[in-house]
Structure 1
């Protein structure tokens, strides 16, 4: 009997369907903005690629015979690592909202760069922590520590993102209306982003390994594991929350810019 997809394989297929259009749209805007990282589209494009790759890897891992454990490992590492790209994208849109105003201030620039540094650090630790404890390197204890440190950095970075967003809002009277509306949308997007970060923290404590085969002794935490835990929680707190952030950032930024060009054309 040929292999078939389980529920997580079906979710992986859905990721392809949802993120391929996002990747196309963000690539267009990335090129249009001359690959400026401050615009947000640059990192959103690579986040989309990460989710497409993750979905494709899960599908391939479940269908390829004989089974290749490396495909599973790559997919499981991409899930927490991708959160850093989403955060970097969010920072870019905060910078875009405050362009020519608060984003030009030294204090704001310093805060945004500091958060970006922490996000990149969490990305590196997530990848390293995911590899350690597998056949690549059997040092499972160090891998667990790195994954939990990365989760802690994600949580701290989120708090700094909230601070930076509200700091930008304190200068909203200096912003043009379309940038102010973008910032309002980003403040709404903080909610699903916060849920996603909370899931990342719970995931790090749900199991001692990335496969979910060594669950936490706490009876509630294993359900937050993206591999062996409750797939509905994984879908809602993980993937759907991410997608809400993506849609809010993309919709509000593109609609705002279109309205600005329309007003310029009229005048």
Structure 2
């Protein structure tokens, strides 16, 4: 088998059971978009689709299938970042329930917007890029812009985390597992992001999305995603479910709720009440 087919086989062996497990965790914690686990599930599905495309490309060498592989490879970063952002929102909500609010829904909305726009640009770039007969890929400017937004969003996530982690002592012992999982995952997300940046900004055959070095891709992308998915799935079994009325304003996505004209939305104190019950 071709080396890329071997990698695709391993991805299927890992992500199919991971997707099933992620469904179980989402059923426990909820399929709401503020949950980091729903994006973990999406990442598993995206990687399964990518592996299937790899096998199909053995018989179909059309540009359309190659474009699909490029798009799938680039959009995998968005659920990885959104999963981290979702778990970070849960962490910050618990802090805000016991201490002054440094970060609010506006900060998380901005980070989510950066990732979402990056996703859109990556998809647009994947459809507008060109592939030469020798496998050389011309990366579209929109793809580069999308990766740039991913980098900015990652920096923002790190800043929010570093500013929030000194106040970890105000949250319950069980919830302290969330920042531990995030700090374990962030270095792997960074390496994955570096690989993506090298793929679009460096004109090197080693990082070519179609014909690049397989060992390098495994070392800087495949393994990193495996580890992050494993960390987040394990975390899903280690923390308790938060009911809808127990989520804070960030994780509860109050900023997504539409106000009825002439009505004011009451301020939620659910996180504070939850903390008092646990104390």
Query: What TM-score, normalized by structure 2, do the two folds share?
Result: 0.77
CA distance in 1, matches of 2:97, 2:36: 13
Does 1:52 find its partner at 2:48? yes
Map 1:19-168 onto structure 2 (within 5 A): 19-62=15-58, 64=59, 67-102=61-96, 105=101, 107-134=103-130, 144-168=140-164
Unaligned runs of 5+ in 1: 207-215, 259-267
CA distance in 1, matches of 2:180, 2:119: 27
CA distance in 2, matches of 1:169, 1:251: 21
Does 1:244 find its partner at 2:227? yes
Q: Which has the higher contact order (CA 8 A, sep 6+)?
A: 2
Shift of 1:171: 2.2
Q: 1:98 aligns to what SS in structure 2?
A: helix
- Could you report, residue by residue, the CA deviation over 1:27-69 in whole angstroms, capped at 9, with x for unpaired residues? 122232331222211111111100000001111121x3x5444
Shift of 1:96: 2.4
- Could you report, residue by residue, the CA deviation over 1:108-167 in whole angstroms, capped at 9, with x for unpaired residues? 3222221111111111111100110349xxxx98x6211111111111111111112222
Shift of 1:223: 1.1
RMSD: 2.2
Map 1:163-242 onto structure 2 (within 5 A): 163-206=159-202, 216=203, 221-242=204-225
Shift of 1:99: 3.7
CA distance in 2, matches of 1:244, 1:15: 12
Q: 1:38 aligns to what SS in structure 2?
A: coil
CA distance in 2, matches of 1:94, 1:31: 20
Q: What corresponds to 1:18 in structure 2?
A: 14
Aligned pair count reads 234
Shift of 1:245: 1.3
Answer yes or no: is the 8 Å Cα contact 1:196–1:237 preserved in 2: yes
CA distance in 2, matches of 1:102, 1:190: 22
CA distance in 2, matches of 1:188, 1:251: 12
Shift of 1:227: 2.1
- Could you report, residue by residue, the CA deviation over 1:197-220 in whole angstroms, capped at 9, with x for unpaired residues? 1111111123xxxxxxxxx2xxxx
Shift of 1:255: 2.0
Shift of 1:80: 1.0
Q: What corresponds to 1:261 in structure 2?
A: none
Answer yes or no: is the 8 Å Cα contact 1:98–1:175 preserved in 2: no
Shift of 1:100: 3.5
Query: What TM-score, normalized by structure 1, do the two folds share?
Result: 0.80
Does 1:257 find its partner at 2:240? yes
Unaligned runs of 5+ in 2: 132-136, 242-279
Answer yes or no: is the 8 Å Cα contact 1:38–1:92 preserved in 2: yes
